[in-house]
Amino acid sequence: MKLYTYSGAPNPRRVHIYLAERGIEVPFEQVDIMQRANRTPEFMSQVNAMGGLPVLELDDGSHIAESVAICRYFEALHPEPPLFGSTPYEQGIVEMWIRRIELNFMVPVGMVWIHGSPLTRAVMKNQIAAAADQYRAVVQGYFGFLDRHLADHDFLTGETYSVADILALCTLDFAAKLNDLPHSPEQKHLTRWYESVSTRPSAGA
Amino acid sequence: MKLYTYSGAPNPRRVHIYLAERGIEVPFEQVDIMQRANRTPEFMSQVNAMGGLPVLELDDGSHIAESVAICRYFEALHPEPPLFGSTPYEQGIVEMWIRRIELNFMVPVGMVWIHGSPLTRAVMKNQIAAAADQYRAVVQGYFGFLDRHLADHDFLTGETYSVADILALCTLDFAAKLNDLPHSPEQKHLTRWYESVSTRPSAGA
């Protein structure tokens, strides 16, 4: 088994944090996204037809792509302690927050990255500056939503750390560090949550 | 228990198809999206702070929003026959395809809907026509990816129908019927898959 990854990229980081939380060690191989090593015909035909990272390669040569799918695979193998919820209700709520963070936070940050970053300009060729501006505002609005929600929740799903917090941490760092979109320190509930999750030992994985 | 829904909208439809596949009946209440009944202060404070549909209300008054989260809740209650996969590997592959369909197919169709549809213009106010054009091309490219994949797979994840097929069916119909973005009948593998999943009795739910 090995994990194709690229250290520092937001989606691979989710899996590294998840594995660190569970104490699971998996050998990994770096694939240089900035050199487009994940878009070669060889990688796309043999590892991931979508060209994305991370990808888990199993001992029989099969592959599971997509960060959350890899985490779910390990959760099914090692269900305790649960990071995707335990009871049916908890499983539903964790999935709800995974999807909220993915679709309402990571997708808009991704729009800013694709349409507004100097780092993606050469590859994208057809960036739409107005789209970057519009989704910057969406992200800033979402910081406010998270801050209000976290006023009376320790973690996104309630009292327990979950995969949804891992996704939100990676997205927030991606927004702040690579897209110049930090939340405001005046958003004190979001700031308290961020300090809590980013100082866990797993956050440095 | 009841399901807040809006018949004909693509995300609520996923849950209706899932429930029909499992033979589960849940009372439902229509919330008129076109009249913004899902964006009233009352709905957002008491049912779903994000204002989206569908939302499942449990007997204790708690709520689970997000289509796939609602399906996962029912899957945890009634795990047979599985629509999210059975073995850890299958669970990973179903999640991989859920995410591919969501992020690489539904998100671009959503961009066309938000930035290019006359039906959303009044609400959006700041549509970006260039974004609609760009994501129309992304969707058309994705039809080709699906067609190539389905050349040697009965369903998205292999030989077995799963939630990923439900998401893809609803997204494809949303693209074709509400965004004037049909796939080509010359994409014969995609067409064969579409005929297979859209003629299941559940597809009319």
In this prediction, residues B58-72 reach a mean pLDDT of 98
The pairing of strands B2-5 and B28-30 is parallel
Check if A129 contacts B (Cβ < 8 Å). Answer: no
pLDDT given at position A161: 98
Residue A70: which of B69, B87, B92 has the nearest Cβ?
A: B92
Q: Which tokens sit at B157?
A: 């994840």
- Write down the CATH number for the domain with range A88-204: 1.20.1050.10
Name residues whose C-beta falls within 8 Å of residue B162's C-beta, 6 or more positions apart in sequence: B83, B84, B85, B94, B97, B155, B156
The pairing of strands A2-5 and A28-30 is parallel
The answer to whether the CB atoms of A92 and B70 lie below 8 A apart is yes
- B30 backbone dihedrals φ, ψ, rounded to 5°: -75, 135
Q: At the fourth CATH level, which superfamily is domain B2-77?
A: Glutaredoxin (3.40.30.10)
Question: What rounded mean pLDDT belongs to chain B?
Answer: 96
Identify the CA nearest to B19 among candidates B67, B58, B61, B64: B67
In this prediction, residues B82-93 reach a mean pLDDT of 97
- pLDDT tens for B4-32 read 999 989 999 999 999 999 999 999 999 99
Q: Where are the domains of chain B?
A: 2-77, 88-204
pLDDT given at position B31: 97
Check if B99 contacts A (Cβ < 8 Å). Answer: yes
pLDDT given at position A125: 81
- pLDDT tens for A164-181 read 999 999 999 999 999 999
- A4 backbone dihedrals φ, ψ, rounded to 5°: -80, 125
pLDDT given at position B165: 98
Q: Cα–Cα distance between A24 and B170 in angstroms, integer?
A: 37
Length of chain B: 205
Does the pLDDT value for residue B202 go beyond 90? yes
Q: Cα–Cα distance between A122 and A101 in angstroms, integer?
A: 28
Residue B69: which of A92, A134, A145 has the nearest Cβ?
A: A92
Query: Do A2-77 and A88-204 have matching folds?
Result: no
Check if B144 contacts A (Cβ < 8 Å). Answer: no
Among chain B residues, CA nearest to A45: B149
Entry pTM: 0.97
- pLDDT tens for B96-116 read 999 999 999 999 999 999 999
Q: Cα–Cα distance between A102 and B93 in angstroms, integer?
A: 18
Alpha helices in chain A (DSSP H): 10-22, 41-46, 67-77, 88-101, 107-116, 118-124, 129-150, 163-173, 179, 188-198
Share of chain A above pLDDT 70, in %: 100
Does the pLDDT value for residue B124 go beyond 90? no
Check if B120 contacts A (Cβ < 8 Å). Answer: no
pLDDT given at position A124: 81
Q: Which residues of chain A have pLDDT under 70?
A: none
DSSP state of B157: T
